[in-house]
Structure 1
Amino acid sequence: MSHIRIDQTRFTGADGVRAIACLSVILHHLSQRLAMPAQEKWLQEVQSVALLGNSGVSLFFVLSGFLLSFPFWSAYLKNETFPSIGTYVKRRAARIMPGYYFSLLVCLGLVWSLNIPTEYLWRRILTGFTFTAGFHYTTLFPSDLNGPFWSISFEVFSYVLMPLIMALLFLLGKRRSFGKAILFWFVAFGLVLVANSLVHQWFTPSETGRGWEYGQIGGAKFWMPNYNPVGFFGHFTIGILAAGAMAAIKQRGAAIEHARKRGLFDALGGAALVLAGLLIWHMRHLGEFDFSLQQQPYYFPTYAILFGIVLLSAPFSVWVGRWLDNRFFRFTAKISFGLYIWHYLFITLIERYGIPDYHYFGIEDVGRWLGISGFVVLISYAAATLSYYVLEQPFIHWSKGQPLYRRKRTEPPQGHVA
């Protein structure tokens, strides 16, 4: 099985899933700017699908849960000691904080220099820098200029919760087994759903000023509690369960190689991808929460489960993993964090200070929309590439004991555990 790349640092297919998640979110934001009623019927259908690209946010959580929990699963099943929390924290901080803080500071600088009025400014600054913005609707969006910041605090919450729950698993007796561990995490998943139900019961905001017509704060109030850090840990948990399943499959040895050669893992991963696409197609004319558990976004848990299946099967596949990890997807995955935290800022600045009708359903001419959106994609890739090589990569190297700003000859793709 030497050709199956399933060691603790490389997961075939993870780059592709990360790229799909990132590009889906960008496509969602760009497609919002095209006036749907002015388009031909076939294009309206395509746009309806593109508008559901925000579901890529769920994939980020599933992928993070999968990649970050695998070393814990591996240590548990091999009867090894609990992985170093110091190393875990250092690598998470190095991966998130430099790029995010710089982008947040740029947004704050623009707010002050352009005299942009901002509600709850200091509260949002404080929670933005401490990754606690996601606990109240007044702070959910740390910046009016860069909406996608909202998910960062949710991710950090999941980063904290996962190792704490894993630590409890390691403490539950000396006899370890996959069956015990997977049951433990299914129970944890159930408790997350219970906690999420209580969040809905106790923390649903009032209807006063609730809705996107009241601006970003009103939109955040409308989103919550359907969007909340506890609920999103459910998406993260599906990735954790997928990592556990993959860790168990890995131990099966020769039987797995036989199944791999017969194409069973390709069939499983391919079917999951097709079903995920069909789900998005089916939902294109339905409401956001018409197919979800507990009014959670992104067709939870079905969409997350399907990509969890992709992640656990791709490392054992013959062609699905290679297709997902094509060259373009691998590069996109490498700079995906920068793409995520920069693209919407450019959209906002173009709308406010360049092209006033580049707003929600504002552009009627498809060619003009393509030109503007293509420019957004181009400058987003440029900014993300610069951010990765100048700011993010050096700290990633530092977190692994290497000097800052010393480039290696080869770069691991983003499918690696950071």
Structure 2
Amino acid sequence: MTSTERASDPAPDAGAGIEGAATPAALHHAFPGLNGMRAAGAIMVVATHTAFDTGKVVDGPAGALLGRMNAGVTIFFVLSGFLLSRPFFLAALQGLPQPSVRRYFWKRAIRILPLYWFVVVVVWATEPDNDGVITPVMWLRNLTLTQLYWPDLLPTGLTQMWSLATEVAFYLLLPLFVLLVLGRARRFSERRALVVLGLIAVAGVAWQATVGPIPGREGHFEQWLPGYLPWFCIGMAFAVVSAADTVRTPRHVLARLAQDPAACWVAAFLVFAISATPVAGPLLLLPPTHWEAAARVTLFAIFGGLLVLPLVFGDLGEGRIRRFCNHRIPFFLGEISYGIFCVHLIVLHEVFRRTDYQAFSGDWGMVFALTMAGTIALATLTYYLIEVPAMRLRRFGPREKTGRASATAPTSSH
């Protein structure tokens, strides 16, 4: 998962030169609290994988909640939809040329691929469970993030990368989604944009309901992009409203909800708790029914939207929740969250090899703590040795033309 720009990156004042009653919050184009949300998403992914590998997911209500923490992926997809589409909508609102798509693709590539390729090579060289099972062609598919489009097993140590492959598909299609939302004239219409995004989201739920019951051995259809468009559409809808807020005083329902972040998060937890019941399907690797597949993607969309909402609307510097998300520790964990996501299975498998625990057994708390400690250490190392140097390559790619809005100006995430 990787909405990969940094929430703290400074951005030009998108409201400059536009008349309107924009509030300071509306013109706030750095969203520092989203780094803390990225950290939460990454930790949730580690929690659910450690719970599954220790068998904790079948241990009553607590296990069910841990089993549903794969909803952490939803957070990343919502952030990607919001942060990566917002500059396009701001440009359309201001009547400016659209951001350079070539530069947008270049920045996506250098942010995602160096660490990803490194992890694939490490897993290829060190994971004994893949010996004699994964062919060179399958490794090539993993290197190109096309592994979901064949009905083959995903390599041990890289099974979490299905979501990265799906997110990269979204990256590639985002300019087309923006064109669809804005129309051929690329003129900003909040109402049109929200209606189109709503229709896309409904189509995504229908896709998931249709293919969800298909067993994985027949294909990874349930993991393809269409089934997760509702999550991306939540973020893009937030981006549309946020862009409109730069030229008006926000008085819409999202602004009112954002005034009470605690209520948003309580509601998010209640939705999450519902998703941990049988209504959202099995916790183990069994195909859901049509209704269960639709319920899960819908409940997770609501959950992710409620978590992110108060961090992109309202007064972004006020309240305990926002201040906590802005704290230096969550902020730093958000900075290395892409590394946490990429390397945690390597660490988890090493924890099992160096302890007496067997698969689907062991103390979840101990396994989680050891995995998190090792993962944070390794992710910090790869952040400074691989991610930071790679990000310096941005300046060598295609350039934005003068007067264009940046395709990734106010963004964040893995």
TM-score by length of 2: 0.78
Change (3 A) 1:2 1:183: closer
Matching residue within 168, 192, 200 for 1:156: 168
Q: Tell me the alpha carbon deviations over residues 320-371 of structure 1, each in whole angstroms, 9 at most, x when there is no partner.
A: 43232222211111000100111111212333x33352422x11xx4xx544
Q: Is the 8 A contact 2:212 2:289 kept in 1?
A: no
Q: Give, in whole Å, the separation in 2 of the partners of 1:264 and 1:233.
A: 23
Q: Give, in whole Å, the separation in 2 of the partners of 1:323 and 1:223.
A: 41
* More displaced stretch, 339-348 vs 12-21: 12-21
Which residue in 2 is equivalent to 1:81?
97
Secondary structure class of the residue paired with 1:384: helix
Matching residue within 291, 307, 314 for 2:311: 314
Q: Give, in whole Å, the separation in 2 of the partners of 1:341 and 1:380.
A: 9
Secondary structure class of the residue paired with 2:334: helix
Secondary structure class of the residue paired with 1:164: helix
Change (3 A) 1:193 1:298: closer
Which residue in 2 is equivalent to 1:214?
none
Change (3 A) 1:297 1:358: farther
How far is 1:188 from its partner? 3.0
Change (3 A) 1:305 1:249: farther
Q: Give, in whole Å, the separation in 2 of the partners of 1:37 and 1:161.
A: 35
* More displaced stretch, 179-188 vs 30-39: 30-39
Structure number with higher relative contact order (C-alpha < 8 Å, ≥ 6 residues apart): 2
How far is 1:245 from its partner? 1.9
Q: Is the 8 A contact 2:210 2:290 kept in 1?
A: no
Q: Is the 8 A contact 1:13 1:415 kept in 2?
A: no
How far is 1:66 from its partner? 1.1
Q: Tell me the alpha carbon deviations over residues 254-297 of structure 1, each in whole angstroms, 9 at most, x when there is no partner.
A: x569x97xx86232x33221112122233434264389986448
Q: Is the 8 A contact 1:101 1:129 kept in 2?
A: yes
Q: Is the 8 A contact 1:120 1:138 kept in 2?
A: no
Q: Give, in whole Å, the separation in 2 of the partners of 1:314 and 1:401.
A: 32
Give RMSD over aligned pairs.
3.3
- Residue 300 of structure 1 pairs with residue 286 of structure 2: no
Which residue in 2 is equivalent to 1:20?
40
Change (3 A) 1:38 1:181: closer
Q: Is the 8 A contact 1:66 1:240 kept in 2?
A: yes
Which residue in 2 is equivalent to 1:355?
355
How far is 1:388 from its partner? 0.8
Which residue in 2 is equivalent to 1:336?
337
Change (3 A) 1:192 1:124: same
Q: Tell me the alpha carbon deviations over residues 193-252 of structure 1, each in whole angstroms, 9 at most, x when there is no partner.
A: 455566569xx45xxxxxxxxxxxxxx438843332221233212211121122223332
Change (3 A) 1:297 1:339: farther
Secondary structure class of the residue paired with 1:416: coil
Q: How does 1:80-99 map to 2 (within 5 A)?
A: 80-99=96-115
Change (3 A) 1:104 1:242: same
Q: Is the 8 A contact 1:12 1:415 kept in 2?
A: no
1:158 alignment partner AA? F
Which residue in 2 is equivalent to 1:123?
137
Which residue in 1 is equivalent to 2:239?
243
1:129 alignment partner AA? L
Secondary structure class of the residue paired with 2:259: helix
How far is 1:172 from its partner? 2.3
How far is 1:298 from its partner? 8.2
Q: Is the 8 A contact 2:82 2:236 kept in 1?
A: yes
Q: Give, in whole Å, the separation in 1 of the partners of 2:124 and 2:281.
A: 33
Secondary structure class of the residue paired with 2:96: coil
* More displaced stretch, 383-392 vs 224-233: 224-233
Secondary structure class of the residue paired with 1:60: helix
* More displaced stretch, 342-351 vs 376-385: 342-351
Change (3 A) 1:62 1:222: farther
Q: Tell me the alpha carbon deviations over residues 19-75 of structure 1, each in whole angstroms, 9 at most, x when there is no partner.
A: 111111111122234455998xxxx54333222211111211111111111111111
Q: Give, in whole Å, the separation in 1 of the partners of 2:295 and 2:379.
A: 26
How far is 1:5 from its partner? 7.5
Q: Give, in whole Å, the separation in 1 of the partners of 2:132 and 2:263.
A: 46
- Residue 395 of structure 1 pairs with residue 390 of structure 2: yes
* More displaced stretch, 296-305 vs 74-83: 296-305
1:342 alignment partner AA? V
Q: Is the 8 A contact 1:76 1:176 kept in 2?
A: yes
Gaps of at least 5 residues in structure 2 are 1-21, 283-287, 398-409
- Residue 374 of structure 1 pairs with residue 369 of structure 2: yes
Which residue in 2 is equivalent to 1:265?
258
Among the aligned pairs, what percent are the same residue? Answer: 23
Q: Give, in whole Å, the separation in 1 of the partners of 2:98 and 2:134.
A: 41
Q: Give, in whole Å, the separation in 1 of the partners of 2:47 and 2:294.
A: 18
Q: Is the 8 A contact 2:119 2:342 kept in 1?
A: yes
How far is 1:129 from its partner? 1.3
Q: Give, in whole Å, the separation in 2 of the partners of 1:17 and 1:173.
A: 35
Gaps of at least 5 residues in structure 1 are 206-219, 403-413
1:280 alignment partner AA? F
Q: Give, in whole Å, the separation in 2 of the partners of 1:123 and 1:233.
A: 29
Matching residue within 367, 380, 386 for 1:385: 380
Q: Is the 8 A contact 1:270 1:310 kept in 2?
A: no
Q: How does 1:34-73 map to 2 (within 5 A)?
A: 34=54, 36=56, 44-73=60-89
1:19 alignment partner AA? A
Q: Give, in whole Å, the separation in 2 of the partners of 1:309 and 1:280.
A: 11
Which residue in 2 is equivalent to 1:286?
278
May I ask how many residue pairs the two structures share in their alignment? 371
Change (3 A) 1:399 1:358: farther
Q: Give, in whole Å, the separation in 2 of the partners of 1:347 and 1:167.
A: 42
1:394 alignment partner AA? P
Q: Tell me the alpha carbon deviations over residues 81-139 of structure 1, each in whole angstroms, 9 at most, x when there is no partner.
A: 1111011101111111011000000011114xx48434352232121111111223315
Change (3 A) 1:93 1:284: same
Q: Is the 8 A contact 1:6 1:12 kept in 2?
A: no
